[in-house]
Protein backbone atom coordinates (compact mmCIF):
# COMPACT_ATOMS: atom_id res chain seq x y z
CA UNK A 1 0.00 0.00 0.00
CA UNK A 2 1.32 3.40 -0.96
CA UNK A 3 1.10 5.60 2.10
CA UNK A 4 2.02 8.83 0.39
CA UNK A 5 1.27 10.66 -2.84
CA UNK A 6 3.71 10.50 -5.73
CA UNK A 7 5.15 13.93 -4.95
CA UNK A 8 5.88 13.06 -1.35
CA UNK A 9 7.42 9.77 -2.41
CA UNK A 10 9.71 11.62 -4.80
CA UNK A 11 10.74 14.01 -2.06
CA UNK A 12 11.43 11.13 0.33
CA UNK A 13 13.51 9.42 -2.35
CA UNK A 14 15.64 12.53 -2.85
CA UNK A 15 16.29 12.92 0.87
CA UNK A 16 17.13 9.24 1.20
CA UNK A 17 19.92 9.73 -1.36
CA UNK A 18 21.73 12.10 1.01
CA UNK A 19 24.59 10.70 3.09
CA UNK A 20 23.55 9.52 6.53
CA UNK A 21 19.83 9.86 5.86
CA UNK A 22 17.91 6.63 6.30
CA UNK A 23 14.35 6.00 5.17
CA UNK A 24 12.80 7.14 8.44
CA UNK A 25 14.72 10.41 8.49
CA UNK A 26 13.90 10.96 4.83
CA UNK A 27 10.18 10.64 5.61
CA UNK A 28 10.50 13.02 8.53
CA UNK A 29 12.36 15.62 6.47
CA UNK A 30 9.96 15.33 3.53
CA UNK A 31 6.91 15.79 5.79
CA UNK A 32 8.63 18.73 7.46
CA UNK A 33 9.16 20.42 4.07
CA UNK A 34 5.48 19.91 3.18
CA UNK A 35 4.46 21.68 6.38
CA UNK A 36 6.84 24.60 5.95
CA UNK A 37 5.49 27.96 4.69
CA UNK A 38 5.89 28.15 0.92
CA UNK A 39 8.30 31.14 1.09
CA UNK A 40 10.64 29.20 3.36
CA UNK A 41 10.74 26.31 0.95
CA UNK A 42 11.44 28.71 -1.92
CA UNK A 43 14.28 30.34 0.02
CA UNK A 44 15.70 26.93 0.95
CA UNK A 45 15.65 25.76 -2.67
CA UNK A 46 17.24 29.02 -3.83
CA UNK A 47 20.05 28.82 -1.24
CA UNK A 48 20.84 25.27 -2.40
CA UNK A 49 20.90 26.28 -6.07
CA UNK A 50 22.95 29.42 -5.40
CA UNK A 51 25.48 27.43 -3.37
CA UNK A 52 25.79 24.82 -6.09
CA UNK A 53 26.23 27.47 -8.77
CA UNK A 54 28.59 29.85 -6.99
CA UNK A 55 30.82 27.72 -4.84
CA UNK A 56 33.87 26.13 -6.39
CA UNK A 57 37.33 24.87 -5.47
CA UNK A 58 39.99 27.33 -4.39
CA UNK A 59 42.53 27.45 -7.21
CA UNK A 60 45.36 26.82 -4.77
CA UNK A 61 44.25 24.49 -1.98
CA UNK A 62 41.01 23.01 -3.39
CA UNK A 63 38.80 23.81 -0.44
CA UNK A 64 35.41 25.31 -1.27
CA UNK A 65 35.12 29.06 -1.75
CA UNK A 66 32.95 31.76 -3.35
CA UNK A 67 36.07 33.42 -4.76
CA UNK A 68 39.01 32.41 -6.89
CA UNK A 69 41.08 31.86 -3.77
CA UNK A 70 39.80 30.92 -0.31
CA UNK A 71 40.21 33.26 2.67
CA UNK A 72 43.04 31.12 4.08
CA UNK A 73 45.13 31.15 0.89
CA UNK A 74 44.41 34.84 0.38
CA UNK A 75 45.56 35.71 3.91
CA UNK A 76 49.10 37.15 3.79
CA UNK A 77 49.50 36.55 7.53
CA UNK A 78 49.39 32.77 7.11
CA UNK A 79 52.58 30.79 6.70
CA UNK A 80 52.40 29.81 3.05
CA UNK A 81 55.55 27.71 3.32
CA UNK A 82 53.87 25.14 5.58
CA UNK A 83 51.19 23.06 3.86
CA UNK A 84 48.97 20.64 5.74
CA UNK A 85 47.54 17.92 3.52
CA UNK A 86 44.06 16.71 4.50
CA UNK A 87 41.66 14.24 2.92
CA UNK A 88 38.61 16.43 2.87
CA UNK A 89 37.14 19.81 3.70
CA UNK A 90 35.69 18.58 7.01
CA UNK A 91 39.21 17.70 8.19
CA UNK A 92 40.40 21.15 7.17
CA UNK A 93 37.56 22.66 9.19
CA UNK A 94 38.50 20.56 12.23
CA UNK A 95 42.08 21.87 12.22
CA UNK A 96 40.97 25.39 11.42
CA UNK A 97 38.63 25.32 14.42
CA UNK A 98 41.59 24.86 16.76
CA UNK A 99 42.82 28.28 15.60
CA UNK A 100 46.38 27.15 16.27
CA UNK A 101 47.57 26.18 12.81
CA UNK A 102 49.09 29.12 10.98
CA UNK A 103 50.06 27.41 7.75
CA UNK A 104 47.91 26.70 4.73
CA UNK A 105 46.15 23.54 3.54
CA UNK A 106 45.85 21.23 0.60
CA UNK A 107 42.64 19.22 0.24
CA UNK A 108 43.07 15.89 -1.56
CA UNK A 109 39.35 15.11 -1.88
CA UNK A 110 39.82 11.48 -0.99
CA UNK A 111 42.50 8.95 -0.21
CA UNK A 112 44.19 6.24 -2.23
CA UNK A 113 42.23 3.01 -1.95
CA UNK A 114 43.08 0.07 -4.21
CA UNK A 115 40.01 -1.72 -2.80
CA UNK A 116 37.67 1.03 -3.98
CA UNK A 117 39.63 1.63 -7.16
CA UNK A 118 40.80 5.09 -6.09
CA UNK A 119 44.26 5.71 -7.47
CA UNK A 120 46.72 8.60 -7.07
CA UNK A 121 45.33 10.27 -10.19
CA UNK A 122 41.84 10.37 -8.66
CA UNK A 123 42.79 12.75 -5.84
CA UNK A 124 44.43 16.19 -5.92
CA UNK A 125 48.02 14.92 -5.77
CA UNK A 126 49.32 16.34 -9.02
CA UNK A 127 48.08 19.71 -7.80
CA UNK A 128 50.01 19.30 -4.54
CA UNK A 129 53.24 18.50 -6.37
CA UNK A 130 52.73 21.59 -8.52
CA UNK A 131 52.50 23.74 -5.40
CA UNK A 132 55.91 22.48 -4.30
CA UNK A 133 57.47 24.29 -7.22
CA UNK A 134 56.93 27.43 -5.16
CA UNK A 135 58.68 28.11 -1.85
CA UNK A 136 57.64 25.38 0.59
CA UNK A 137 59.49 24.37 3.78
CA UNK A 138 57.28 21.61 5.11
CA UNK A 139 54.40 19.38 4.07
CA UNK A 140 52.44 18.00 7.03
CA UNK A 141 50.46 14.92 6.09
CA UNK A 142 47.26 14.86 8.12
CA UNK A 143 45.38 12.12 6.31
CA UNK A 144 43.30 9.81 8.53
CA UNK A 145 44.91 6.88 10.32
CA UNK A 146 42.80 4.41 8.33
CA UNK A 147 44.43 2.01 5.86
CA UNK A 148 43.63 4.42 3.02
CA UNK A 149 44.98 7.40 4.95
CA UNK A 150 48.25 5.61 5.75
CA UNK A 151 48.63 4.38 2.17
CA UNK A 152 48.14 7.94 0.95
CA UNK A 153 50.63 9.31 3.49
CA UNK A 154 53.31 6.85 2.37
CA UNK A 155 52.63 7.60 -1.27
CA UNK A 156 52.92 11.37 -0.76
CA UNK A 157 56.06 10.95 1.30
CA UNK A 158 57.76 8.95 -1.46
CA UNK A 159 56.50 11.34 -4.08
CA UNK A 160 57.93 14.50 -2.58
CA UNK A 161 60.96 13.25 -0.66
CA UNK A 162 63.13 13.81 -3.72
CA UNK A 163 62.16 17.49 -3.89
CA UNK A 164 64.01 18.17 -0.64
CA UNK A 165 60.87 19.49 1.09
CA UNK A 166 60.51 18.33 4.70
CA UNK A 167 57.68 15.80 4.99
CA UNK A 168 56.05 15.11 8.35
CA UNK A 169 53.14 12.95 9.52
CA UNK A 170 50.83 13.96 12.36
CA UNK A 171 51.28 11.81 15.48
CA UNK A 172 49.32 8.60 15.78
CA UNK A 173 47.34 9.95 18.73
CA UNK A 174 44.46 10.04 16.30
CA UNK A 175 42.34 6.89 16.74
CA UNK A 176 42.60 4.36 13.95
CA UNK A 177 39.98 4.97 11.33
CA UNK A 178 38.89 8.08 13.20
CA UNK A 179 37.60 10.94 11.15
CA UNK A 180 39.56 14.04 12.05
CA UNK A 181 36.36 16.03 12.38
CA UNK A 182 35.12 13.82 15.23
CA UNK A 183 38.28 14.26 17.28
CA UNK A 184 38.53 16.90 19.98
CA UNK A 185 40.75 19.92 19.52
CA UNK A 186 43.30 18.90 22.15
CA UNK A 187 43.92 15.55 20.43
CA UNK A 188 44.30 17.32 17.10
CA UNK A 189 46.80 19.80 18.50
CA UNK A 190 48.78 17.04 20.19
CA UNK A 191 48.82 15.12 16.90
CA UNK A 192 50.09 18.22 15.13
CA UNK A 193 52.74 19.07 17.71
CA UNK A 194 53.93 15.46 17.90
CA UNK A 195 54.37 15.13 14.15
CA UNK A 196 57.46 13.28 12.98
CA UNK A 197 59.48 13.25 9.82
CA UNK A 198 58.71 10.40 7.42
ZN1 LIG B 1 42.73 27.98 -0.67
pLDDT single digits (tens) 137-195: 999 999 988 889 999 999 999 988 888 899 999 886 555 455 666 667 777 888 888 78
Nearest-CA neighbor of 139 among 82, 189, 193?
A: 82
What is the DSSP code (8-state) at residue 81? Answer: E
Angle value at C-alpha 12, between 110 and 22, nearest 5 degrees:
50
Q: Is the pTM of this model over 0.85?
A: no
> Cα of 16 to ligand 1 centre, how many Å?
32
Alpha-carbon distance of 73 to 101, in angstroms, equals: 13
The dihedral formed by the CA atoms of 177, 181, 182 and 187, expressed in degrees to the nearest 10: 90
Question: HSE on the CB side for 41, CA within 13 Å?
Answer: 11
Task: Write down the pLDDT at residue 195.
Answer: 86
> Cα of 40 to ligand 1 centre, how many Å?
32
Alpha-carbon distance of 155 to 105, in angstroms, equals: 18
69 C-beta neighbours (distance < 10 Å), count = 14
Angle value at C-alpha 185, between 184 and 189, nearest 5 degrees:
125
Alpha-carbon distance of 159 to 153, in angstroms, equals: 10
Task: Name the strands in the sheet holding 196-197, side by side, starting at the edge strand that comes first in the sequence.
Answer: 103-107, 79-86, 138-141, 166-169, 196-197
> Cα of 95 to ligand 1 centre, how many Å?
14
In whole angstroms, what separates CA 43 from the centre of its chain?
27
Helix (H) or strand (E) holding 141: strand 138-141
> Cα of 34 to ligand 1 centre, how many Å?
38
Q: Which of 9-23, 50-64, 167-181 has the lowest mean pLDDT?
A: 167-181
Backbone phi and psi for residue 165, each to the nearest 5 degrees, phi listed first: -75, 140
Q: List, for residues 100-125, the tens digit of each pLDDT value.
A: 899 999 999 999 998 889 999 999 99
> Cα of 63 to ligand 1 centre, how many Å?
6
Task: Write down the pLDDT at residue 1.
Answer: 47
Amino acid sequence: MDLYSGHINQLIEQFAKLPGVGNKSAQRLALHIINMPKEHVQRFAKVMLDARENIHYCKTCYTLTDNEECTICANAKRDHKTIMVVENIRDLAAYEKTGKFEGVYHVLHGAISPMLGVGPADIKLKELVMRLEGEVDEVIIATNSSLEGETTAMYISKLIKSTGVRVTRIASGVPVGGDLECIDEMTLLRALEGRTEI
